[in-house]
Structure 1
Amino acid sequence: MSTPLKPQLNKDYMITQLNELLSIPSPSGFCMDIMNYLRNEVEKLGYSMEQTPKGTGIIVIPGQKSGKVIGISAHVDTLGAMVRSIKSSGMIRFTPIGGYAMQTVEGEYCLIHTRDGRKYEGTVLSSRPSVHVYNDARDFKREEANMEIRIDELVATKEETEKLGISVGDFISWDPRTRILPNGWVKSRHLDDKASVAALLGLLEWLKREGKAPTYTIKLLISTYEEVGHGCAYIPEDITELLAVDMGAIGDDLSATERDVSICAKDSSGPYDYAMTSKLIELAKREEMPYAVDIYPNYGSDASAALRGGSNIRAALLGPGVHASHGMERTHADAVVNTAALLISYIME
């Protein structure tokens, strides 16, 4: 086994960036502001970011050798919702963006983003919101047809809500409720996958600070439609290997914890590349970092989308362990830092 690299990463930088990313609403299809933020941050580090017509960001890091191009993807889009209709009561019926259980958003604060730039606060409730009023409030099924958003404005009719400029098709973002604790715990919505994006920024910051170049040219791909299944359905044709960086799930018979780097051997799209996955395991052992190898039967990634889109690539999947995925998520700063360290070890080989 080769000598450990042990890159000295800037944890404070990564966690600061994660906090900033979490504060910017970005449900799938509504990622303009966050991509502008990323472009500015990437330029501060001395790199540039182009965007495809669909919105995927591409950051090219020239390598020391020719022969292949390695892609590394993470997605900045999150779960959210869209206005489906406005009820006669002035409440909003919504349709989900991404796959989540309705009970995970009940009681959540949210923002309604109108297409002319206005923002209104609201709260997600069931249409039986009070046990003092409705006998079936506890047992009422939490499904789309039974959920609504109460707007924090003086509205009681459909017409009054429409006068606010709210209309069908407006995006709705959830309050992330981010908490970054002194002991390293990070709890927030949307750690899937902004924790991984923070790790990629940490990788860029390390390359810049150390004056390093990867062995082969790297293309970082920041996708904006992963949560709806087609984030990296297109990738540049010169990429032959793709490392998808996404959160590692926790629970049931899975072995990952929030402090581990998760390496996924197989998800709903099938097995990941044997050689790439084996290399990640070898490097995690060499770097003496906490890691886990798991199988995710209810999971897909940007690598899955690229393979289904016809890309002739090898692919692997890794990322920080995240508890309660697609709910009130939690990870640890160590997992974010070690994800960046494992990526650096891979690209410097």
Structure 2
Amino acid sequence: MEQYQTWILEKLQELTAIDSPTGFTGRVTDYLVEEYQKMGYEPVRTYKGGILIDLGGTEKEAVLTASHVDTLGAVTAEIKENGRLKLSPVGALCASTLETENCRIYTRFGEVYEGTCQLVNASSHVNGEFSQTVRTYQNIEIVLDENVRSGEDVRKLGIDNGDYVCFDPVTKITKSGYIKSRFLDDKLSAAVLMGYAKFLKDTKRTPKRKVYQYFTVFEEIGHGASASVPEDVTDVISVDMGCVGEGISCTEKEVSICAKDSGGPYHYDLTTELIKTAREHEISYAVDVYPFYTSDVEATLKSGYDIRHALIGPGVYASHGYERSHINGMMNTFRLLSAYLGTEEQD
């Protein structure tokens, strides 16, 4: 399976290069449809905008693996009279992580403009309170890379309130195997799912159980997988980022198996099955409790679906900021999915 490592990394870089904050995901789902059609699948677009793929399998009780391709971002909340833009966050995007980041502003009519997020009055040689100022959405702004001096100048460009502001992912893979980028949550796991789908086609295998993949587009605001779950699904595994930090045993190199998060404990039996699979196949893993976290599958449960639920994913540090994982964590997640779902050779 190691031959899929390079392919998954390539898909990750392609995914992170596509701006897709929640509510602005059409381009990334178009990409997924095209990629899955190339592999020989028949992806279905839900009314809500997600992508559902049937990978095959013979057993009646199906399992759905879900990752989200919507990311954090912002929209223009106010065009200031000095030509700067005030932001409103999309999802839990912390203002303090945005300072000096380059961005793109997408208008509703096809124009795309570049800019930089800065503290208001950002020159430390002019602003004596620069170092002491707490960074909030009230005192950061977008400085457009256009010759604008007023709100009227900005509006003439076609920029309006509600236009999406998308920040550079700055994706980098180091020689030591670390993966650094914004939006590894959850495009890293989305690339892992793509790798599993390719593995099935390349090896002419089908899962022993019927398997669906579901790419959701509203996870960052809490209702990504609340709809469109096929009727034959009895288990849903959210494949999202695993937490790394103080009090957490996982590092960037393991696949994290979540026992409990802010929404409560995950299904005991399904979680135990995943742990046993990792142990039996000598996959490096960690079991953790996430103190401030919710996943797609909790939205599924709250919508009334009668399912077992679990959460796994590669360890990711500095979540909702400039995030870091490792190729080992990525591949351990790939191996756990492949081992748990099982495959059969086709005739």
Give the drift of 1:9: 5.0
**2:329 maps to what in 1?**
335
**1:198 maps to what in 2?**
191
The C-alpha deviation readout for 1:168-219, integer Å capped at 9, x for no partner, is 1101111001112233211000000000001001101111111111111111
**Counterpart amino acid of residue 125 in structure 2:** H
Give the drift of 1:8: 5.0
Distance across 2 between alignment mates of 1:182 and 1:34: 28
**2:139 maps to what in 1?**
146
**1:4 maps to what in 2?**
none
8 Å CA contact 1:114–1:170 kept in 2: the answer is: yes
Distance across 2 between alignment mates of 1:9 and 1:228: 35
1:1-349 equivalences in 2 (<5 Å): 7=1, 10-66=4-60, 68-234=61-227, 235-348=229-342
Distance across 2 between alignment mates of 1:345 and 1:55: 30
5+ residue gaps, structure 2: none
Give the drift of 1:236: 2.5
5+ residue gaps, structure 1: 1-6
Partner of 1:339, secondary structure, is: helix
Distance across 1 between alignment mates of 2:311 and 2:198: 22
Partner of 1:321, secondary structure, is: strand
Q: Share of identical aligned residues, percent?
A: 42
Distance across 1 between alignment mates of 2:299 and 2:88: 23
Partner of 1:259, secondary structure, is: coil
**Counterpart amino acid of residue 203 in structure 2:** E
8 Å CA contact 1:110–1:124 kept in 2: the answer is: yes
Runs of 4+ that moved beyond 3 A = none
Distance across 2 between alignment mates of 1:183 and 1:24: 25
247-256 vs 8-17, greater mean Cα deviation? 8-17
**Counterpart amino acid of residue 16 in structure 2:** L
The C-alpha deviation readout for 1:139-170, integer Å capped at 9, x for no partner, is 11211111110000000100000011000110
8 Å CA contact 1:90–1:156 kept in 2: the answer is: yes
Distance across 1 between alignment mates of 2:166 and 2:338: 33
Give the drift of 1:323: 0.8
TM-score, L = length of structure 2 = 0.96
Give the drift of 1:237: 2.9
TM-score, L = length of structure 1 = 0.96
Length, aligned pairs only: 342
Give the drift of 1:334: 1.7
